Amino acid sequence: MGEARFIDLRSDTVTRPSAGMRAAMAAAEVGDDVYGEDPTVNELELRTAALLGHEAGLFCPTGSMANLLGVWSLVPRGAEVLCDQQAHIARAEMGAHASLHGITMRTWESSSGVSGVARVTDVTSMMSVGTGPFLVETAAVAIENTHNFGGGTIHPIEVLRELRAACQQVGVAMHLDGARLWNAHVATGVDLADYGRLFDTVSVCFSKGMGAPVGSVLVASQERIAAARVQRKRLGGGMRQAGVLAAAALFALDHHIGRLADDHANARSFAEAITEAAPGAVDPESVATNIVVLDVGERAASEVVGAARQQGVGLSAVGTHLVRAVTHLDADAAACRQAGRLAGELLAR
């Protein structure tokens, strides 16, 4: 018998390009993108911007860079952006907004009963606008949809509309970290443009559930994207014949959006398999998209992750006692169910 397959649910970033995607990459027409001459990159930027209801787009090597540029375009040096305390821009972008752009950050704690989902009054009560030389000025609010460390939770469109109206009343801009906005769209049926038009800047990622090897796109107005293009080069993000990467993202737009529903179903199945052996570790009803966060009780998350790896399952520690699993196109239904059984047996010991 062959060696047992390793089921890697550490993240949906571990996906590898499919045969069709590789063929599209190999056939891509390319040019020098710093000169604006790569036709495949140009197509991706325009198409993504249109999908999200914006004028222009900018292809970036990473989601972190797309977020960095989006927030930078809204928040002057010395001003602040408000976000959730578990937001990716606060926890996982290496302090780049402060260290590179001089932007400060204050965070709210989710109190809506759904992890990672903002309550409008919590956000508006924090805003500091027109306070003169006494308090840091709030320039923008950042929302993450779906919410990574919150367990793939979705911000309801009604909440986002209410928050947008409140921000507009006081002149505060909004940035959407939409790395997994595709998942929110598939899970809710809300049009991507309906989400996108509520924000001044939006970043979306192609290297997670969409299955591309590299790349995110920032969308905004023509003016903001023109400025962000200069800043991208300043940060070392000016790529040349990047069409080979953009082609993968275009392939994902054509072939990988609808199939995200499979990942959502597999995440629910994974959670259900765990509860059969270890009730209380996760509520399957709380699984909204492709991310499952497990409460491992008094055990150290790192210990559980290590033990799971020995059983052939890749998980991630996202807190002292919290473990995350993320389903994706390289882990089919049977593999996710098997991973859930193995993780459940481990947690039940």
CA distance 144 to 128: 21
Residues whose CB falls within 8 Å of the CB of residue 95, separated by 6 or more in sequence, listed in order: none
Question: Which has more pLDDT, 330 or 349?
Answer: 330
| pTM over cut 0.85 | yes
Per-residue confidence (pLDDT) for residue 181, from 0 to 100: 98
Asked if pLDDT for residue 2 goes beyond 60, the answer is: no
Among candidates 114, 128, 116, which has minimal Cα distance to 83? 116
List the domain boundaries for the chain: 7-14+259-348, 31-255
pLDDT (tens digit per residue) in 113-165: 568 888 999 999 999 999 889 999 999 999 999 999 999 999 999 999 999 99
Per-residue confidence (pLDDT) for residue 132, from 0 to 100: 87
Q: What is the mean pLDDT of the chain?
A: 95
CA distance 232 to 59: 10
Per-residue confidence (pLDDT) for residue 111, from 0 to 100: 61
Q: In what order do the strands lie in the sheet with 216-220?
A: 56-60, 216-220, 201-205, 173-178, 138-144, 80-84, 104-108
Straight-line distance from the first to the last Cα atom of the chain, in angstroms, rounded to the nearest whole number: 28
Asked if pLDDT for residue 33 goes beyond 60, the answer is: yes
Share of the chain above pLDDT 90, in %: 92
Average pLDDT over residues 186-200: 98
- Please state which architecture CATH assigns to domain 7-14+259-348: Alpha-Beta Complex (3.90)
pLDDT (tens digit per residue) in 258-268: 999 999 999 99
Asked if pLDDT for residue 4 goes beyond 80, the answer is: no
- Burial label for 241, CB within 10 Å (0-12, 13-18, 19+), is middle
CA distance 288 to 155: 11
Which range, 107-111, 212-216, 282-286, has the best average confidence (pLDDT)? 212-216
CA distances (Å), 219 to each of 50, 154, 294, in order? 9, 20, 34
CA distance 346 to 171: 51
CA distance 219 to 248: 18
SS3 (DSSP) at 153: strand
Amino acid at 244: V
- Please state which architecture CATH assigns to domain 31-255: 3-Layer(aba) Sandwich (3.40)
CA distance 25 to 16: 13
Among candidates 121, 152, 100, 133, which has minimal Cα distance to 268? 152
Asked if pLDDT for residue 304 goes beyond 60, the answer is: yes
Asked if pLDDT for residue 3 goes beyond 70, the answer is: no
Per-residue confidence (pLDDT) for residue 113, from 0 to 100: 55
Per-residue confidence (pLDDT) for residue 69, from 0 to 100: 98
- Burial label for 230, CB within 10 Å (0-12, 13-18, 19+), is exposed
Asked if pLDDT for residue 75 goes beyond 90, the answer is: yes
Share of the chain above pLDDT 70, in %: 98
Amino acid at 233: K
Per-residue confidence (pLDDT) for residue 1, from 0 to 100: 40
